[in-house]
Amino acid sequence: MIPLPLARIAEITSGALSGMADPRAVVRGPVVIDSRDVRPGSLFVAFKGARVDGHDYAAQAVRAGAVAVLASRAVDAPAVVVPDTAAALAALATAQSAALPGATVIGVTGSAGKTTTKDLLARLTARMGATIAPVGSFNNEIGHPLTVLRADHETRFMVLELSARNIGHIRALTRIAPPRIGVVLNVGTAHLGVFGGKEAIAKAKGELVEALPRDGVAVLNADDPLVREMAARTEARVTLFGRAPEAAIRAEDVTFDERGRGSYTLTTPSGSARVSLLLYGEPAVENSLAAAAAAYELGLPVATIAAELSEATPRSRWRMEVTDRPDGVTVINDAYNANPDSMRAAFAALGSLGRGRRRFAVIAALRELGEDSTQLNTDLGRLAGGAGLSGLVVAGPEADPVLAGASAAAAHPGDMSPTGDMSGTGEMPIVHVPDAEAAAAQVSRWLRPGDVVLVKGPRAMSLERTAELLLGGATQ
Ligand SMILES: Nc1ncnc2c1ncn2[C@@H]1O[C@H](COP(=O)(O)OP(=O)(O)OP(=O)(O)O)[C@@H](O)[C@H]1O
Ligand SMILES: [Mg+2]
């Protein structure tokens, strides 16, 4: 971050110094919200959560080297006291990004694939200059400003992930660090329940392109009609990516190897190059094209883009991590999160990776789907039941619709399986277990060398535990 004395921090946040805070003491960063992350020179931001109150850790943070605490009440340590720590954090980040006109801000949004695309794009921009990008999925009103506050005068690019849980959220994030380039991936079914419909989701995601300046670029998915329509909502130039012929940045001759890794010819107005991804699954093609389009707009040569994309491995964990055990069992760990679209993509990946092999899946009921929840979870069960599995484990609460859908589909596989794959006809065991650990125990009983198992569920189920236990018990 740009070093700031406490007096200046108080001014930016309309706060008051307390606890004998020295107005001249300089915060050099990092700005953190977890006292365990404090380093000498840090500013510790105290949030009051449902279970833990950060204010209780103020003294500990200062002992660990924090210069002061940004707090909403006086604490037993030097502090800048503000009415609302989230608003103060946003104000600090806004001031910081305004002081860094040399850094180009690129925002990435969409229902699925933001983190993957952000990681790929950060890899590409790093070829052109110092890049800041969030760790994992830091994409909300807290993670976003914390990421922006990592930038300094060296920073040339900030690749930021913007997520919306409601109308107005993305607009607020774009005010903190105004983007020059906005990438919109797709409008899908994540958080459908919160929004109440795809049109509302499109409205929220489109706030990113509305925030772009006239000399900015909206990078839009040509293959998603709701994203394409966003072209009308921006003053910026529009660049389309996708497989559609109208896309300026196009994937042509798309193929997948026997493990489900995509290859394509990246075609641009100034030449083309072959990309062979190390990332698994169909969505990786879309995500890598989006990253390519943004990097192309920033001036990175097509050959460099293609070479970098072809070397990229997953940077953020539990997203389509494919690991072969010594005994030849392949574990697909896609446990980071799940929604109806990403479940379909994951089962498609299981289908290609598992061709000619026994396939298993550990899944859990999807959440945050609103009034269609029962129907969409029954559909998920049908998807799993019709996927030609040799065994299905459904973990955790509210599993009944999933179990019902799976049983119905497994009993009539001919109706369900689009591939006509009848392995598992009527015989497919379907087991309900309470949690991630029990899921690992159950599927372990079935696995034999050469099998493939997909592990995927909503964040709250932490099914990465299942995958880690299957891979030898190491957990983090
Ligand atoms: N373009 C895509 N279309 C559909 N599904 C995708 C796409 N990209 C990734 N996925 C799936 O979505 C899941 C999450 O991927 P990723 O973490 O990149 O998305 P995200 O948008 O950052 O999610 P979150 O909103 O949870 O931060 C993964 O399971 C992945 O398989
Ligand atoms: Mg994410």
CATH topology of domain 100-311: UDP-N-acetylmuramoyl-L-alanine:D-glutamate ligase (3.40.1190)
- Evaluate the omega torsion of the peptide bond into residue 30 and state whether it is cis, within 30 degrees of 0: yes
Ligand 1 pocket residue status of 330, Cβ below 6 Å: no
Q: Say which residues have a Cβ less than 8 Å from residue 451's Cβ, sequence separation at least 6.
A: 329, 330, 357, 358, 359, 360, 390
Q: How far apart are CA 386 and CA 404, in angstroms?
A: 12
Tens of pLDDT, residues 315-337: 888 888 999 999 999 999 999 98
4-83 CATH, one of 1.10.3720.10, 3.40.1390.10, 1.20.1420.30, 3.90.180.10: 3.40.1390.10
Tens of pLDDT, residues 158-194: 999 999 888 999 999 999 999 999 999 999 866 666 6
113 is in an annotated binding site: yes
Helix (H, G, I), strand (E, B) or coil at 3: coil
Ligand 1, atom 16, residue with closest C-alpha: 113
Q: Is the pLDDT of residue 421 over 70?
A: no
pLDDT at 187: 93
Ligand 1 pocket mutation pick from 109, 114, 220 by most atoms within 8 angstroms of CB: 114
Q: Where in the chain is the domain with CATH 3.40.1390.10?
A: 4-83
Distance, CA 15 to ligand 2 centroid (Å)? 32
Ligand 1 pocket mutation pick from 319, 339, 367, 462 by most atoms within 8 angstroms of CB: 319
Q: Is the pLDDT of residue 476 over 50?
A: no
Split at pLDDT 50, 70, 90, the class of 416 is: very low
pTM to 2 decimal places: 0.84
Ligand 1, atom 11, residue with closest C-alpha: 342
Ligand 1 pocket residue status of 382, Cβ below 6 Å: no
Q: Which of 425, 424, 427, 369 is nearest to 402 (CA)?
A: 369
Distance, CA 115 to ligand 2 centroid (Å)? 4
- Please, what CATH class does the domain formed by 321-470 belong to? alpha beta
Which uninterrupted H or E stretch holds 350?
helix 340-353
Q: How far apart are CA 358 and CA 347, in angstroms?
A: 14
Q: Is the pLDDT of residue 422 over 70?
A: no
Instruction: Name the average pLDDT for the chain.
Output: 92
